[in-house]
A and B are shown apart, each in its own frame.
Chain A
Amino acid sequence: MKIIGVILNTFRESIRDKVFITIIIFAILVMVSGKVIQPLALGEEAKVVKDIGLNSIALFSTLIAILVGGRLVYKEIEKRTLYLIITRPIHRWQFIVGKYFGLLLVLFESILIMTCAFYLILILLNISASLNLLLSVLLTFFQLWVITAIAILFSTFSTPITGAVFTFALYFIGHLTRDLKTFGAMSKSGLVKTLSDIMYYVLPNLANFNIKGEVVHNVTIAPQIIVLTIAYAIVYSAIIVFASCIIFQRKDF
């Protein structure tokens, strides 16, 4: 399978990237710091440590997706390494899809390492490490499907810095799209209502992926919410990856 070749090479490239290793080490250090601020937690040590742990996994894996993903295709174009890949009997879309899943494999590995470190810290601090926390990690991983797709889309036509800025912007806006819709609904202007509706459906809705508060406070989450959120991630990222393939297909090198 040719696409497997691209996936495995992307994986190999990313795990040998210093950015990846640095971020993982930093994430684990932040998780450990939960122990340091225990005295400030006013008896809520377990919740604070869990909160810091889950947020670290989400934040640092998002950083990897944006910083590594944003350079992934651009670097190949800039360094002309892709000349010797796309002149082989491989479709251009296979290259983009391979790059996408290669980075997802890297993110899966980094989340796995950070989650193991997180559970180890919980065990060492004698904090109950319920499997419920994994639900939040699972949705974080699917949120990365969307972020990675956006990062790769920008990587097909812009520089890594521009791409990273726009992906970060979309990441933050993505957590506020619900508020955007509410704001539109409150407005008297028809134009503002229409615009906010369009933006609500076009921009990624990332708030649904954030169930950290619920799992830390042991609030039950309906299984259909999890399933629908995962389905949303798959459909949204498929559309973005498809758009990246179209841009890349039309590109002259």
Chain B
Amino acid sequence: MGMVIVTENLTKDYHTGFRAHTIRAIENLNLEVEVREIFGFLGPNGAGKTTTIKVLVGLTKPTRGRAMVLGKSSTDVDIKKLIGFLPESPYFYEYLNPVEYLKLCAQLSGIARAEQQRRIEKLINLVRLERFVKMPMRGFSRGMLQRVGIAQALIHDPELVILDEPMGGLDPIGRREFRDIILKLKEQGKTIFFSTHILADVEMICDRVGIILNGKLINTGRLDEILGSEIETFEMVVRGLDRKMVKVIERISNKVIPSEDKVLIEVKTEEEVERIMVIMREVGAKLLSLIPRRKTLEDHFISEIQKERLKEI
């Protein structure tokens, strides 16, 4: 399968205070994104996600190593015809309305005048901004600006769409619509690379993910490979256990949380479930729910980050 993004030993340093102090934002980053995949780029704040994206879209130049996008250097101007980009918390010319702004973007992307209007109308419908086309963007909410942002990223029908924290500031409906747009883009054969903090969204739509911490890529792979299909824990909710029985169960499970008349118990194996069921039958307690839990991306993300932090210590 062809690679849309390839970075080799990508390193970026920033200098502050007359070059006296150097901050390494990313270090020896080796990343590959395949054609027609949705790639989620994860990491805590300050991990280097935005810097990586800035290098990929040519806003900043690497200190060392290289970043190739669609087979060409990320600093190549021509390659930008094939890239759609939405930065984190995008800012627009607030004196323009969405149509004027999209027209400017279309013009700068080299789209023929006759084609511009057709694309603008299509995108305005896609992002549902029909009611606000004549309104200057000065008065737009964060969600509305984000919609303009996705429209401008798609105005030139790019092959690769790079989105930096696209779900930030969106309400649940907006997030869902955004997810649908991303999935639709994948259906159209586009590659999507996006960074986010919202792991539930990644789990729902991404084919592969990469986790970055302190400027280094610490893990990358397919979601099913990373998360696996095995059950990690069982979560039981039981009613009718007295304090004495809770003490007994605490010897089997290390996570027992009593609340008013219920007890939440987490165990790791089926055998432990069986043992607790035996105790319950003896005292006449009632099982309200039994939920097998698989590993979530959040669990994986947190454990990877904890592992890395332990290594540093």
- Residues of chain B contacted by A86 (CB below 8 angstroms): 58-59
Q: What's the interface size class on B, roughly? A: 20 to 34
Give chain A nearest CB distance to B230 CB in angstroms. Answer: 42
Q: How far is A182 from B93 in the complex, measured between Cα atoms in Å?
A: 48
Binds A, one of B103-111, B187-195, B271-279, B305-313: B103-111
Output the least CB separation between A122 and chain B (Å). Answer: 35
Q: Is B224 close to A, CB under 8 A? A: no
Complex: chain B residue closest to A79, CB-CB: B91
List the A side residues contacting B152 at CB < 8 Å. 84
**Contacts A87-B83, A88-B80, A252-B60 known; A81 to B92 CB distance under 8 Å?**
yes
Query: Is B77 on the interface with A (CB-CB < 8 A)?
Result: yes
- Tell yes or no: A90 within 8 A of B by CB: yes
Which chain B positions have C-beta within 8 A of A5? 104, 107-108
Known contacts: A84-B87, A87-B83, A252-B60. The answer to whether A16 contacts B95 by CB under 8 A is yes
B92 and A84 within 8 A (CB): yes
Is the pair B104, A89 in contact by a Cβ cutoff of 8 Å? no
Known: A9-B104, A252-B60, A253-B54. A87 touches B90 (CB 8 A): no
Verify A89–B60 contact, CB threshold 8 A.
no
What are the interface flags for A72-113 relative to B under an 8 Å C-beta threshold, 1 for contact and 0 otherwise?
A: 000000011101111111110000000000000000000000
Chain A, residues 1-45, CB within 8 Å of chain B (1/0): the string is 010111001001100100000000000000000000000000000
Report B-chain residues with C-beta under 8 Å of the C-beta of A2.
Answer: 107-108, 110
CB of B239 within 8 A of chain A? no
Interface flags, B70-102, vs A, CB<8A=1, else 0: 000000011011010101001111011000000
Q: Tally chain A residues at the interface, Cβ within 8 Å.
A: 22
CA of A136 to CA of B109 in the docked complex: distance in angstroms? 41
Q: Is the CB of B105 within 8 A of A89?
A: no
Complexed CA–CA distance, A89 and B78 (Å): 6
Chain B residue contacts of A81, Cβ below 8 A = 91-93
15 CB-based A-B contacts, threshold 8 Å: A2-B107, A2-B110, A5-B108, A9-B96, A13-B95, A81-B91, A84-B85, A86-B58, A86-B59, A88-B80, A88-B109, A89-B77, A90-B77, A90-B80, A252-B60
B57 contacts partner chain A, Cβ-Cβ < 8 Å: yes
- Min CB distance B114 to A, Å, is 16
Q: Which residues of A contact B61 (CB under 8 A)?
A: 252
CB closest chain-A residue, reference B103: A5
Assembled-state Cα–Cα distance A88/B54 (Å): 13
Q: Which residues of B contact A84 (CB under 8 A)?
A: 85, 87, 90, 92, 105, 152
